[in-house]
Structure 1
Amino acid sequence: MGLTRASFNARFKSERTWVILAAVAVLIIVLTTLQWDVNGSQSPYATDVGEIQNALPRWGTLHFTGYPLYTFAGSAWVSFLRLLGVAPASGASLFSAMWGAVAAALLVLLAIELGVPAPTAFLASLVASLTTSVWVYSSLAEVHSLTMALSLATLLLALRFGRSGARRDLLALTLAFTQGVAHQRANLFLAPAVIVLILPKIGVLRRHLLPMLGVTMLAPLTYLYLPLRAWQGAKWTFGEPGTWRGFWTMVMDTKATRVVAAPAGLIQWLARVKGTAQLLDDDLPTPLLIVGLAGVVVLALRGRRRRQGLGLILTALAYWALAMVIWEGRVSDALLAVKLPVAYAAALGLALGAAEVADKWPRLAPATLVCLAAIGAFLLVSHRPRVLEITRDPGAEQVIATVEQVLDEPRPRRPRRPATFMALWGHDYWALTYAQAYRDQLPGLSLVDHNADFRGVLARGERLLTLEKTFYRRPLSWWEGQVGSVALTSAAAGVVEIAREPPLSPSDVPAGPELDLGNGIRVASAGLVKVRDELRLTLYWQAEGAIEQDYSVGVHLVAHDPPRGPSDILQQADSRHPVYGWYPTTRWRAGEIVRDDYLMPIPPGAQPVAVRVGMYLVDWQGQFVNTEWLALPVLVP
């Protein structure tokens, strides 16, 4: 029995209601985990977030392949929200949240197109949106929620064109697919599924080749945004998109040579299978993943929907296979992103399975809805802490606070010199740049990355500073290659000053306890401050002459001074060398003054009386040879 016009309109309105509900529900959920401020997470999910948070408000460009559609649309979105008082980091995350909601709505439409009842499609959409990867990428500034919206739109329009053969559906499909490939090259792996889905109407393509070509050309034209912004002098551009060579490097770089590595043998294949299965289990527990993909297989076995089921199977298999060959020696953002279609396919399969059960056993229809709702509730409760762990990571705030200490340090005896702060290109640099540009922090500080001219910085008489953790990736030898001879000193807790000559003079040393250690080094001053449950120790060492041995630093929090045994040592903050372990004493020059900072938490319930400071060697027999010790009383209010 056919549908009347009135019943068709009623059904359409009902389905449209569920589509809107899915988008709204996902948006509300994502807002509870949204990353509202600058990214501090080191998670592979957040690899490029800081870069995006800085690029979009500047109408800048991103790393390979440039993502011009995302950067142009995202910049417009962020700029509009800034007019309403929304911070750039929040606006960039909201851009992802919006596309996550669109993807949820598209999945409902896709499921309905496959014959799934609207309420079932709605619940399956929530399940997909609550998988770890989809939820994370909808909560922070990344390109992948837009990627999934374009992917789902491609599959939906392929289904519709395969059924209708309408010119409108064909051109819309062409637009979604070509823009998706231009945005993210991995979308090309949808091609086998698209071909299968449109196969009944493949002959129609010949009649519309010219308009299809015109729509297709819109995709590469988006790349003109990259040189345009470079020529306009954008303050944030990646590479050299304003040059002919730089432009084509951005367009043609697919990252394949850097991220794709096929397993070398059976053992590696098995390891990849296991690793990929574990990553997929993080999104959707393996039993649910299997049931969901089985639902897609069941669709392929049904005569009326066999072609659609085959198209979905090809989608899941293509991206599962791609996940198997993406390897950078670690779990990378590329690997996490490429498995997204598998999670969506599994959620869609759960909907198809539920619809099949309800169709064969109508009395079980309510039970299928309850099961899908229970799965969604389980994912909500189990995945939310993990998402918040990433989006609420305080790492960026800690870095910013560390650098702010330098600006707050009093230097009353000498005029304050201009300072240049080097942070490695990546999370720390992006956090500091964002804080300076959009939170009015770090005024007067010149921020540079590791490609700067450091000889020029020092030649201008500026202070050159960096985080102490920078030395793990750029050790002392690297700095010597950059500026020549190097002298180090702490500039604040966690911050190192690099100079060609010792940067401190006696006038920089505050009054404080002194002690000759008896090894050619003296404590010129020592200060101890208690802040909440932490002690902050600042030392000024002075070399009385050339030091022939490398001394380690001992910093002990003690319950009795001197300690009567190991039990009296409550906490230690020893260092292999002074200045966070990076400046051996054999490098010190006669008369050189070196500042050293230590942070020491006070153990809960402890009653410390002093902090003891000294130096020591380990002799050829493995015995400790200690210098004199300076005791600083701990004043507990």
Structure 2
Amino acid sequence: MSQESHLARLAPLILFFAFLALYISTAARGYIVGGGAEAESMELQRAVVYNGIAHATSYPAYVILAHYFTHLGAVLGDDPFTWVTYFSSLTVALALVIAYFLLRLYVRWYAAALAVSIFGLSGVLWHIATIAEVQGLHLLTVMGILYLGALYTRQPERVAYLEGAALLFGLGLANHRIIVLWAPSIALIALGSGALRRLQPWQYVRLAAMLSLPLLLYYDVFFKVPAGVVYGLGTTFNPPINAYNALQIVFGYGQEGLLISPLPELGARIALVGGFHLEFFTPIGVMLGVIGLALFIRCAPLYGIAILIGSALSFAFFMTWRQDHKAFIYYGQSGFALIVGLAHLADLTVRLPRLGKRLSLALPLVALIPLLFALGFPKNNRAIDRRGAEYFAAYASLPPESIVFTGGWSPDHWIGLEAVAAGYKVGLFYDREAPFIAAVADERRTQNIYLSHWMQMYLGMLSGQNPLLELGMGFGGTHTPFVQVLPRGDPRIAAEAETATKLEQMAAPGIQLYSYHAHADQHGAYFTLYWRVVGEIPERFIPFAHLRTVDSAGNTTGLIAQRDYPDPVRGYYPTTAWQQGEVIRDTVFIAWAEDDLPPAESLRWTFGFVSPSTGQRTGEIFLPFSVAARP
């Protein structure tokens, strides 16, 4: 056997294990937070881990398969939530292998391997392979259907290929229904290969049976109803579920309104969907892919047109589906036509008559691999994201009977449900209206009321809006992603301040740093500052917190680290809203610099305010480095 034959045989194994290793090494760990498509991942994680019911349309094929896959993680003593994400890594890696075998029917092994590598490193595939998402299984079924379709064009007498495609199509319908966008392509392949004149009536019955069989997986949804399983419906979570709720989910409850005509904004919609393809495959990749696809259609017109139709229908549909940035996770199927084109171009390189022409075509194709890796790794390395664990720790640190407004459909809420299940006594409110939040904070003065990070974002607080401040609410900082909502002048904060280290130094006109807490860990220094209003505050002062170097005389010689906000309490509570006698809890975290620190005796912590009218500091309060020294 020749060396080339050995490489052709080894290529799919190398591709599978290489991409599986890449995806798993960059996959999100534990609870997934995220802010884009992965913002809904934890709802899927919970449905899978507890073998529950996911949001519409329930995705039973995904839930069942991923649930049993997590049992492997349980055997290894690993976190099941992480293994839900690993299921995405596995399915995308398998989809790439099937894509390789598909392309091998038309091109040489190295051309197929090159195109599949570009596909696997594209932003969309790398993204869905590193989060909990049904699109990995969807892509696997699409690749399987297209592979069987390609085999059928070569051996139309083998009805088993059509039956296999029908079975996978049914499995796709039991997962994500955008599989229907490939129905015209499969029909064209079947008709163009003479299925009408070859198939007998009983074979149509078998095809229908194969298509329908996986749809029985939807019965699993109704089977779970009496068990009271975990499920998500709208903004309610874990209430008793009934058969009607299950039917709503199966038929797409909550999805209405997402399908919108693109015609009023056709140019913008083309730019949006097309822009994502340019980002995921690069402009040069898209251009070469289009050229290659046109040439491929000349060589294999039936199959090439089928691929073009499926990708074009997908592209058109995505212009109508959802008006937000989350829809890009579907674009793997619309971009596959480009991969077919790139494979065909790569295969043409050896046919060109001169070396210069070969290199002029081969070099841009090969260069796409390191380029896509360099572009994709910083965006898709989710293994370093520890926000899920951070949010759970935030719930665990709250006083008993606290209330957290989560906004409902958010990772913050689902992680809160896990905290409640773990025994932490926390109330989760999914109401999103600022007046209701203010009313609860005003009425329940013996309870601690918090806003989750997602809720802060929903209320516009991360972008400078603050409807709760306009309703007369005050705020208290925490060393978590949460912020506390308080009635102004809440006596509990004044009582807290009495237990801290007293300082009572003036920081700005009308503002005194009454007391503080400080501690440090390997990440940085944590300060809880209790400001007290002792007089009139003439303007909206800007706070600062620095770690500085000083000389032997105590004069500042340098700045090591800092943490500045436009207003105290993470920018949410301006000094102009403070009232006479009020005590405000402000929290500051200053991360350690990467370099080694100078000697401790040359360092000091500095806090204070800046006057925006003069640009000058109104005062500086110094604390020795030892109060929060680096361990």
| TM-score computed with the length of structure 2 as normaliser | 0.78
- Encode CA deviations 1:237-269: one digit per residue, 9 max, x unaligned: 33486342562354235847326441426xx51
* Corresponding residue to 2:294 among 294, 297, 300: 297
**Aligned partner letter, 1:465:** Y
Q: CA deviation at 1:98?
A: 1.7
- For residues 280 and 517 of structure 1, do their structure 2 counterparts lie closer, same or farther at Cα, with a shift above 3 Å needed? closer
* Corresponding residue to 1:426 among 400, 410, 432: 410
How many angstroms apart in 1 are the aligned matches of 2:125 and 2:114?
A: 15
Q: CA deviation at 1:96?
A: 1.2
* Structure 1 partner of 2:484: 497
* Corresponding residue to 2:28 among 27, 35, 40: 35
Partner SS for 1:32: helix
* Corresponding residue to 1:473 among 458, 461, 466: 458
89-98 vs 177-186, which moves further: 177-186
How many angstroms apart in 2 are the aligned matches of 1:142 and 1:293?
A: 28
Contact 2:527 2:589 (8 Å CA) reproduced = yes
Contact 2:16 2:96 (8 Å CA) reproduced = yes
1:446 counterpart = 2:426: yes
Q: CA deviation at 1:81?
A: 2.5
How many angstroms apart in 1 are the aligned matches of 2:479 and 2:339?
A: 51
* Corresponding residue to 2:121 among 121, 124, 130: 130
* Corresponding residue to 1:319 among 314, 319, 342: 314
- CA RMSD across the alignment: 4.6
After TM superposition, the structure 1 = structure 2 runs for residues 365-380 of structure 1, keeping only pairs within 5 Å, are: 374-375=366-367, 377-379=369-371
Contact 2:525 2:590 (8 Å CA) reproduced = yes
How many angstroms apart in 1 are the aligned matches of 2:485 and 2:256?
A: 38
* Structure 2 partner of 1:209: 204
Identity %: 17
- Encode CA deviations 1:481-536: one digit per residue, 9 max, x unaligned: 9xx98554334465433356543353652241114779766543234556679554
How many angstroms apart in 2 are the aligned matches of 1:564 and 1:375?
A: 56
Partner SS for 1:142: coil
Equivalenced residue count is 596
Note the residue ranges of structure 1 that are not aligned, 5 or more in a row: 1-6, 408-415
Partner SS for 1:215: helix
* Structure 2 partner of 1:506: 495
- For residues 520 and 432 of structure 1, do their structure 2 counterparts lie closer, same or farther at Cα, with a shift above 3 Å needed? same
After TM superposition, the structure 1 = structure 2 runs for residues 445-464 of structure 1, keeping only pairs within 5 Å, are: 445-446=425-426, 448-451=428-431, 461-464=446-449
**Aligned partner letter, 2:316:** A
After TM superposition, the structure 1 = structure 2 runs for residues 213-362 of structure 1, keeping only pairs within 5 Å, are: 213-239=208-234, 242-244=242-244, 247-253=247-253, 255=255, 257-258=257-258, 260-264=260-264, 269=267, 271-302=268-299, 305-326=300-321, 328=323, 330=324, 332-334=325-327, 336-356=328-348, 358=350
* Structure 2 partner of 1:611: 606
How many angstroms apart in 2 are the aligned matches of 1:129 and 1:614?
A: 51
Contact 1:260 1:326 (8 Å CA) reproduced = yes
1:93 counterpart = 2:85: yes
Q: CA deviation at 1:66?
A: 2.0
How many angstroms apart in 2 are the aligned matches of 1:227 and 1:519?
A: 66
How many angstroms apart in 1 are the aligned matches of 2:67 and 2:424?
A: 27
1:180 counterpart = 2:163: no
How many angstroms apart in 2 are the aligned matches of 1:223 and 1:523?
A: 62
Contact 1:528 1:538 (8 Å CA) reproduced = yes
Contact 1:299 1:308 (8 Å CA) reproduced = no
Contact 2:233 2:249 (8 Å CA) reproduced = no
533-542 vs 453-462, which moves further: 453-462
Contact 2:346 2:362 (8 Å CA) reproduced = no
- For residues 610 and 479 of structure 1, do their structure 2 counterparts lie closer, same or farther at Cα, with a shift above 3 Å needed? closer
* Corresponding residue to 2:107 among 108, 116, 127: 116
* Structure 2 partner of 1:151: 142
* Corresponding residue to 1:24 among 5, 17, 23: 17
24-33 vs 601-610, which moves further: 601-610
Contact 1:65 1:252 (8 Å CA) reproduced = yes
Q: CA deviation at 1:172?
A: 1.8
119-128 vs 371-380, which moves further: 371-380
* Structure 2 partner of 1:3: none
Q: CA deviation at 1:625?
A: 11
Note the residue ranges of structure 2 that are not aligned, 5 or more in a row: none
How many angstroms apart in 1 are the aligned matches of 2:24 and 2:296?
A: 35
- For residues 539 and 28 of structure 1, do their structure 2 counterparts lie closer, same or farther at Cα, with a shift above 3 Å needed? closer
Contact 1:130 1:383 (8 Å CA) reproduced = no
Contact 1:494 1:597 (8 Å CA) reproduced = no
1:64 counterpart = 2:48: no
Q: CA deviation at 1:559?
A: 6.9
